[in-house]
Amino acid sequence: MSFTPPHVFEQPAPAFDLSQVETPAFVVDLGLLQKNLEKLARVQEASGASILLALKGFSMFAAFPLVRQFLRGCCASGIHEALLAHEEFGREVHVYAPAFKEAEMREIIPIADHISFNSPAQWRKFRPMLDAARAAGKRAPSPGIRVNPEHSEVEVSLYDPCSPGCRLGTRADALENESLDGLEGLHFHALCEQDSDVLERTLAAVERRFPRLLEKVKWVNMGGGHHITRNDYDVERLVRVVRCFKERWGKEVYLEPGEAVALNTGWLIATVMDIVPTDIPTAILDTSATAHMPDTLEMPYRPHILGSDEPGKLAHTFRLGGLTCLAGDVIGEYSFPAPLEPGQKLVFTDMAHYTMVKTTTFNGVPHPDIVLHDPAAGLRLVRRFGYEDFKRRLS
């Protein structure tokens, strides 16, 4: 069953003329992004934590000149994100991946500030490379280990890093007989779109399970999944939890949200191309669930469209279908006050995070444009994709 998360109704309508946007297009609004960043900066200031942008959630580097004014750096989940952070963001680079290759480590060592290993075996394998860089007077990242707090409050197991048997992070019993020598950081990531009460309970589990590691390390990275920029998020509790933790343990604290940075800052704008007579009329759009918003099928969730409602609530109900040949390339059923017409534009909300980083060119469907809206300067087309972008990925 797909459902619509309530926060997607919080995003305002675009403050620009839709007729100026060729579709399909992701439009990110710098004014809305700045509001999020200001809230995150207040959290940094009040809590003493450093906040990093998780690139896996939002990597639109055309917006980095704004983001880097507020956040301390990026967290990367793989070699290419690490390179992007180094090239385009230019502040701290923190890297974690379930496993690294030697060739990747050679590229990561000179550019990363922190690296979190998923297992003691990965740490043992790469420690000599880090030590050798330091011995040669070169820069090397501060090493940490990702732990699995085994505290699970994420309902959908696809997104639960603490589900039984999950490969992410080392469990306390697997760390018991390991030497912690040389480790400088503890990393955990166990939240997904959650409030600070969940962080508080997860942190209690970390403190209970990993006191030996906590005593030893300099920094603690509390991962992502903090929905800080949602209107009803309990910021005061977050500040209290981080401050009290810092008082108890005296550690540097990092948070690395992705979604919260770009929450409700972007729209996907699409055009109705045809109306197909099915059991209920199906509008074919110049976008695709599977190629341009795969989370609608994977999670699954039902994105919000401005001016629409649940099927049957308003006078005219339509199914919205994508451009690919996948039978299930269906975004959902929606009702509208007037019948949809070919040429009409539809505006999907909250499309800046995760949606933009997960697109594909399946079926040769044209990729949406990437557009920035600056409230002071108007719309700017940042990138238009063509046949060459499609072809280059194929051989």
Ligand X SMILES: Cc1ncc(COP(=O)(O)O)c(C=O)c1O
CB atoms inside a 10 Å sphere around CB 295: 16
Binding mask 34-63 for ligand X (x = CB under 6 A): --------------------x-xx------
Binding mask 217-256 for ligand X (x = CB under 6 A): ------xxx------------------------------x
Q: Closest distance between ligand X and the C-beta of residue 187, in Å? A: 7
Would you say 58 or 126 has its CB closer to ligand X? 58
Q: Looking at residues 61 to 80 of the shown chain, list those that interact with ligand X (rule: CB under 6 A).
A: 75
Q: Closest distance between ligand X and the C-beta of residue 268, in Å? A: 18
Residues 6+ apart with CB under 8 A from 68: 89, 90, 91
Sequence letter at residue 25: A
Residue 3, phi then psi, degrees to nearest 5: -135, 160
Q: Looking at residues 344 to 383 of the shown chain, list those that interact with ligand X (rule: CB under 6 A).
A: none
Q: Closest distance between ligand X and the C-beta of residue 228, in Å? A: 9
Would you say 94 or 319 has its CB closer to ligand X? 94
Q: How far apart are CA 108 and CA 100, in angstroms?
A: 10
CB atoms inside a 10 Å sphere around CB 327: 7
Q: Closest distance between ligand X and the C-beta of residue 58, in Å? A: 8
Would you say 53 or 239 has its CB closer to ligand X? 53
First to last CA, the chain: 37
Binding mask 179-198 for ligand X (x = CB under 6 A): ----------x--x------
Q: Rg of the chain over CA atoms, in angstroms? A: 22
Interface with ligand X includes 96 (CB under 6 A)? yes
Interface with ligand X includes 260 (CB under 6 A)? yes
> Which tokens belong to 15?
């403050």
Q: How many residues bind ligand X (CB under 6 A)?
A: 15
Would you say 223 or 332 has its CB closer to ligand X? 223
Residue located via tokens 């926060």: 7
Q: Closest distance between ligand X and the C-beta of residue 77, in Å? A: 6
Question: Which one of 141, 143, 149, 258 is in contact with ligand X (CB under 6 A)?
Answer: 258
Sequence letter at residue 131: D
Would you say 54 or 365 has its CB closer to ligand X? 54
CB atoms inside a 10 Å sphere around CB 208: 11
Q: Smallest Cα–Cα separation from 200: which of 245, 169, 157?
A: 245
Q: Closest distance between ligand X and the C-beta of residue 186, in Å? A: 13
Angle at 370 between CA 81 and CA 261, to 5 degrees: 55
Would you say 21 or 228 has its CB closer to ligand X? 228
Q: Closest distance between ligand X and the C-beta of residue 260, in Å? A: 6
- My answer on whether omega of the bond before 300 falls inside 30° of 0, hence cis, is yes
8 Å CB contact between 114 and 134: no
Would you say 54 or 220 has its CB closer to ligand X? 54
Q: How far apart are CA 237 and CA 145, in angstroms?
A: 26
Residue number with the shortest CB distance to ligand X?
224
Would you say 59 or 324 has its CB closer to ligand X? 59
Q: Smallest Cα–Cα separation from 89: which of 45, 56, 52, 117?
A: 52
Q: In whole angstroms, what separates CA 299 from the centre of its chain?
A: 14
Residue 241, phi then psi, degrees to nearest 5: -60, -45
Residues that bind ligand X (CB under 6 A): 54, 56-57, 75, 96, 189, 192, 223-225, 256-260
